[in-house]
């Protein structure tokens, strides 16, 4: 089977990437999946693990749902999508328990919650049920990476402020080779409890959302200015 989507062209791939990573980011733009987001982002490592597990489910669910979209009628599409997602999450849960056991001990409680992550059903409904398998898997990858990015960012902020470390226990997730990632940024830090508890998560998320809005506004202003000077130049030339 060809990986190219039905409507394949270069700009489609680019638009999917931009949507997933930034302009339609699951957390930063759609404000979805906040439950797992706030629950696991006490440390950057946990955020990374949760993000990668969700990405795996997003890619597989996008791919499978795009494959079966020809057979599924609109009347029963939701139960079938939920079934597909639930099976994938269970398989990821079993696989992590078997082969990434230490990480599973930390994230175990939250893996089944991926089922309730509305972003996955959302992508199945709004993208995978209307596009080819390749494009849907790619969309899942980009949406998942965008989600991972938000999780790691929030986890890093909370971990630095809350416990003064960064990527603690990263070697459990990525293997001993990545132990150099584990950093103690503030030695002998007493910790700041609020940042680790859920309210700290909400506060940090608020700042990150505000930061994204700020960047978007700046970009839009710059574009507008460019267009208006270009327009003025064209007017003067005529």
Residues that bind other proteins (CB under 8 A): 42, 68, 71-73, 75-76, 79-80, 83-84, 86-87, 90-91, 94-95, 97-99, 101, 105, 162-163, 191, 193, 196-197
Q: Which is nearer to other proteins, 99 or 180 (CB)?
A: 99
Q: Which is nearer to other proteins, 35 or 91 (CB)?
A: 91
Q: Which is nearer to other proteins, 80 or 186 (CB)?
A: 80
CA 11 → CA 3, 15, 17, 60, distances in Å?
A: 16, 6, 10, 23
Q: Which is nearer to other proteins, 78 or 214 (CB)?
A: 78
CA 180 → CA 50, 62, 148, 153, 174, distances in Å?
A: 21, 34, 20, 19, 11
> Cα separation of 238 and 220, whole Å?
27
In the bound complex, what is the minimum distance in angstroms from residue 44's beta carbon to other proteins? Answer: 15
In the bound complex, what is the minimum distance in angstroms from residue 162's beta carbon to other proteins? Answer: 8
Torsion angle of the four alpha carbons 89, 95, 98, 99, in this order, in degrees rounded to the nearest 10: -130
Q: Which is nearer to other proteins, 64 or 149 (CB)?
A: 64
First-to-final CA distance of the chain: 53
Q: Which is nearer to other proteins, 15 or 77 (CB)?
A: 77
Q: Which is nearer to other proteins, 8 or 68 (CB)?
A: 68
Q: What is the CA radius of gyration of the chain?
A: 20
> Cα separation of 189 and 208, whole Å?
24
> Cα separation of 209 and 116, whole Å?
22
Consecutive H or E run containing 166: strand 165-166
Of residues 146, 150, 172, 143, the one with CA closest to residue 45: 172
In the bound complex, what is the minimum distance in angstroms from residue 225's beta carbon to other proteins? Answer: 47
In the bound complex, what is the minimum distance in angstroms from residue 97's beta carbon to other proteins? Answer: 5
Contacts of residue 134, defined as CB under 8 A and 6 or more positions apart, other chains included, come to: 2, 3, 4, 5, 8
């Amino acid at each position: 089977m060809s990986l190219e989507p039905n409507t394949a062209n270069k700009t489609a791939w680019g638009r999917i990437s931009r949507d997933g990573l930034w302009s339609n980011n699951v957390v930063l733009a759609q404000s979805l999946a906040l439950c797992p987001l706030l629950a696991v982002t006490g440390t950057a490592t946990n955020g990374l693990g949760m993000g990668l597990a969700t990405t795996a489910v997003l890619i597989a669910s996008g791919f499978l749902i795009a494959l079966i979209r020809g057979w599924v009628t609109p009347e029963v599409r939701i139960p079938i999508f939920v079934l597909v997602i639930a099976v994938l999450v269970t398989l990821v849960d079993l696989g992590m328990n078997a082969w990434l056991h230490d990480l599973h001990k930390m994230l175990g409680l939250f893996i089944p919650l991926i089922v309730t992550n509305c972003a996955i059903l959302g992508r199945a409904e709004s993208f995978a049920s209307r596009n080819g398998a390749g494009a849907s898997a790619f969309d899942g990858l980009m949406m998942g990476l965008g989600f991972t990015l938000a999780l790691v960012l929030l986890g890093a902020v909370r971990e630095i402020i809350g416990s003064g470390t960064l990527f603690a226990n990263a070697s459990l997730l990525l293997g001993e080779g990545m132990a150099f990632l584990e950093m103690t940024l503030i030695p002998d830090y007493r910790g700041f409890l609020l940042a680790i508890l859920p309210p700290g998560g909400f506060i940090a998320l608020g700042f990150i959302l505000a930061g994204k809005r700020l960047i978007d506004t700046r970009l839009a202003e710059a574009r507008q200015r460019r267009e208006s000077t270009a327009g003025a130049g064209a007017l003067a030339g005529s």
